[in-house]
Amino acid sequence: MRNVMLLSAGLLLILCAGAVFADEVVDPEVVAHAERLAVGTCGTCHGVKGVSKQPKFPRLAGQNPAYLAAQMKAFRSQQRGDPDAIGYMWGMSASLEDSTIEALAAYYAVQTAVGASVASDGASVARGREIYEKGIEAAGVPACSACHGPDAHGIADFPRLAGQHAQYVMKQLASFQNNMRNVAVMHGVAQALKVDEMRSVAVFLETLP
Amino acid sequence: MNFRFPRACLSSGLMLVLLTFLVEPSAHAVPSFARQTGMACEACHTVWPELTHFGRVFKANGYTLDNLKQVRGVTVQREEILSLASLPPLSLMVQVAYTQLATPLPDSSGVGNSQNGTASFPQQISLFYAGKIAPHAGAFIQLTYGNDSGTLGIDNTDIRFAGLQVLPGDQSLIYGVSLNNNPTVQDLWNTTPAFGFPYATSNIAPGAAVSTQIDGARGQDVAGLSFYAFWNESFYGELGAYRSAKQATAGPLDSASAGGVVSGIAPYWRLAYEHNWGRHSLEAGLYGAKFKIFPDLAASDGAGYGQVLKGPTDDFQDVAQDLQYQYMGDKNLFSVTATRIHEKQTYSATALALGINTVGADLTTFRAAATYYYKRKFGGTVGYFSTTGGAALYNPADPANEMPASLSLTRADTQGWMAEINYVPWLNTKFSIQYTGFNKFQGLSSNYDGTGRNARDNNTLYLLGWLSY
């Protein structure tokens, strides 16, 4: 019993030290500012905790922080440029400083992701799963899971896709394809995808927890 | 319909061509909210002035979202005490129009007719301050020059303070207070009178002569403070109070104040529920107000009226329902708005002045419209409007005189439909062709004015060029 308590006390100390250490690295002022922004400004579209309800606005909860930060910077430098990115996010990100971007990314990364919906079209989901896990060999489409992870929770800097709105995913795939969102890797992947294949994989991803 | 088109068509075509040349094509022309937020109009509007869900939340939040470089002031505790945009969020709006009636109106001399086909240049020019004024406060202030008034005056104004609270379970609560000058100008949906369809109409064509109090009758004639809460961006509740605030007079209000004076304060209330799923948004709500008015009898009836802003009042109790549905596809946008306003009128003050028993009346207005847009570029609206019953004291033979010598119980029914075609070449520029057809005008479909003029003689073709910068 005593040992357990000692152990817990020790753990607590380490944790607290970790927290203090973290505080030294990140300015609490910036964190507070980012939280206010996330709730009061970004929240209207993306949900106060990054779980948006409307399919036009991507879910950010549980997303890979490095990816989030990279996207905000891509909006800010006006490189990610499909019409919705231009209409909504170029303005939104224009005056974000690097430190705020990091803090915003950290804020969303720790929120709990929630699956968007339970799909009704079983055949489409099954087809989507197949594409996600195996790709489409004949068309030269690689397996998505290789980069986005077997559970679609993302790997390293590759973004999480699980639980994302199908409408948003579909539109991104189309934008990669026509290079409005100009990313070489995903252009290569999406190049040969047909619309119904995009839809299947998007619907499948939306059902994932 | 006895409308002959050729000449109207020719002139309308010419007008459109002219307008197209007059407007400078600038793709980056976006008005002040867009300037302030850095977002294109489509974030807040389907096609202006109709709001999207985000637009409603932006309004509830006090127009404060901003992205401009700020001039800041903070205390030692880093509390924000000033946050000024380096550029003021100003906008200019211009409406130029052309109106053609099915049959010209009689000449004011009583002999012959007035000229048909009237150009309005401008019908209206407005200057807006629309945006943040302080960390939690924002404003929508409109100053308008109209060709009807020939002067610049205050138009719809809504100044608000808002806050946002995250509740347990990720629920949100937006709350705030609005100081405004037109009941429903602060409302978030496009069903209520101030921002409901039709968004623009001719100020030359004859229109319904009576309306309920909440239906614009008190616009810029009152000042009100209202408190609101928007829970989870779905349940909305608001309570407010209005008091007379006349224009073109600074002195204390008295028996000569045109349009009557509100006794004490007039309560205003609003309840609404909005549900959003996928690309759909549905709202249903209730709103109302009660106005107790001291009529301005002294002005029109001379000595006949002994009461000066005391004693009984003429009471107007308004209760309304509204409904809105929006579908927002990437290419196709569709929306339906409807409202029904019922007003119970009790004329105690007027009755006393006339030495008769108190008279009452019911007035009901119904409006519905369906709008479709393709790619926010080409669109159209069809609408229906009707005002029936009521206005017991209204004398149709003398529309200018609100207080007829003899009590006429003629009904005020005005009823018809509207169709509008819109072209929106740039998000801030709209060209409209609007046609209004009347089935009934001031109670009758034929010979409504006793000189043989029929309701359909007032059918109106209206061309509008509308731009905001």
Q: What is the mean pLDDT of chain A?
A: 85
B13 — contact with chain A (CB < 8 Å)?
Answer: no
CA–chain centroid gap for B442, Å, is 21
Contact B53 A88 (CB under 8 A): no
B373 — contact with chain A (CB < 8 Å)?
Answer: no
Mean pLDDT of successive 10-residue segments in chain B (469 residues)?
36 34 29 75 86 91 76 74 77 93 90 92 92 88 92 93 86 94 96 93 85 91 96 95 90 81 96 92 97 74 57 93 94 96 89 74 93 95 90 46 44 88 92 96 85 92 92
Distance in angstroms (rounded) separating the CA atoms of residues B365 and B362: 10
DSSP calls for B94-129: EEEEEEEESSPPBPTTSSSBPPSSEEEEEEEEEEEE
B137 — contact with chain A (CB < 8 Å)?
Answer: no
| Contact by Cβ (8 Å): B462, B434 | yes
Distance in angstroms (rounded) separating the CA atoms of residues A82 and A92: 15
Contact A41 B53 (CB under 8 A): no
In b/e form, how buried is each residue of B115-149, taking b as 16+ CB within 10 angstroms?
A: eeebebebbbbbebbbbbbebbbbbbbbebbbbee
The CATH 1.10.760.10 portion of chain A extends over 2-109, 122-206
| Contact by Cβ (8 Å): B148, B122 | no
Q: Comparing C-alpha atoms, which of B200, B217, B198 is closest to residue B417? A: B198
Neighboring chain A residues of B42 at a CB cutoff of 8 Å: 87
Nearest CA in chain A to B56: A44
A·B CB contacts under 8 A? 60
Mean per-residue pLDDT for A38-55? 88
Q: Comparing C-alpha atoms, which of B400, B394, B461 is closest to residue B434? A: B461
Chain segment B167-220, per-residue pLDDT in tens: 887 788 999 999 999 999 999 999 999 999 999 999 989 887 788 999 998 999
pLDDT at position B69, please? 66
A166-177 helix and A195-207 helix, angle to the nearest 10 degrees? 140
Nearest CA in chain A to B70: A95
Distance in angstroms (rounded) separating the CA atoms of residues B332 and B372: 7
Distance in angstroms (rounded) separating the CA atoms of residues B16 and B432: 9
A143 — contact with chain B (CB < 8 Å)?
Answer: no
**B337 residue type, one letter:** T
Indicate the burial class of B75 (C-beta count within 10 angstroms; 0-12, 13-18, 19 or more): exposed
Pick the CATH number of A2-109 from 1.10.760.10, 3.40.50.410, 1.10.357.10, 1.10.287.1040: 1.10.760.10
Distance in angstroms (rounded) separating the CA atoms of residues B37 and A61: 24
B43 — contact with chain A (CB < 8 Å)?
Answer: yes
Residue A22 CB: number of other CB atoms within 10 A? 12
Topology of the domain covering B12-468: Porin (2.40.160)
Mean per-residue pLDDT for A58-82? 94
Neighboring chain A residues of B65 at a CB cutoff of 8 Å: 40-41, 44
Residues near A188 by Cβ (< 8 Å), separated by ≥ 6? none
Contact B172 A48 (CB under 8 A): yes
| Contact by Cβ (8 Å): B128, B469 | no
CA angle B466, B47, B100 (to 5 degrees): 40
CA angle B291, B292, B297 (to 5 degrees): 120
Distance in angstroms (rounded) separating the CA atoms of residues A42 and B274: 20
Tokens of B429: 């520029």
Q: Comparing C-alpha atoms, which of B427, B436, B440, B418 is closest to residue B466? A: B427
- Domain spans in chain B, listed from the N-terminal domain onward: 12-468
Helix runs in B205-259, H state only: none
Neighboring chain B residues of A49 at a CB cutoff of 8 Å: 170
| Contact by Cβ (8 Å): A137, A31 | no
Contact B37 A91 (CB under 8 A): yes
pLDDT at position B307, please? 61
Of the two residues B211 and A17, the one the predictor is more confident about is: B211
The 3-class SS string of chain A reads CHHHHHHHHHHHHHHHHHHHHHHHHCCHHHHHHHHHHHHHHHHHHHCCCCCCCCCCCCCCCCCCHHHHHHHHHHHHCCCECCHHHHHHHHHHHCCCCHHHHHHHHHHHHCCCCCCCCCCCCHHHHHHHHHHHHHCEHHHCECCCHHHHCCCCCCCCCCCCCCCCCHHHHHHHHHHHHCCCECCHHHHHHHCCCCHHHHHHHHHHHHHCC
Chain segment A119-140, per-residue pLDDT in tens: 667 888 999 999 999 999 999 8
Distance from CA of B277 to the nearest CA of A (A): 7
| Contact by Cβ (8 Å): A73, A101 | yes
| Contact by Cβ (8 Å): B29, B469 | yes
Neighboring chain A residues of B67 at a CB cutoff of 8 Å: 91-92, 94-95
pLDDT at position A115, please? 72
B65 — contact with chain A (CB < 8 Å)?
Answer: yes
Contact B67 A95 (CB under 8 A): yes
Phi-psi region at A68: left, alpha or beta (left = phi > 0; alpha = psi -120 to 50): alpha
In b/e form, how buried is each residue of B186-219, taking b as 16+ CB within 10 angstroms?
A: bbbbbbbbbbbbbbbbbbbbbbbbbbbbbbbbbb
pLDDT at position A160, please? 96
Please report where in the chains the tokens 């109302």 appear, as a residue. B288
Residue B167 CB: number of other CB atoms within 10 A? 11
Contact A48 B166 (CB under 8 A): yes
Chain segment A178-207, per-residue pLDDT in tens: 999 999 999 999 999 999 999 999 999 999
Nearest CA in chain B to A91: B38
Residues in chain B: 469
Distance in angstroms (rounded) separating the CA atoms of residues B7 and B43: 40
Q: What CATH number belongs to A122-206?
A: 1.10.760.10
pLDDT tier at A5 (50, 70, 90 boundaries)? very low
Is the pLDDT assigned to residue A11 strictly greater than 60?
no
Residue of B166, B174, B276 for testing the chain A interface, max A β-carbons within 10 Å = B166
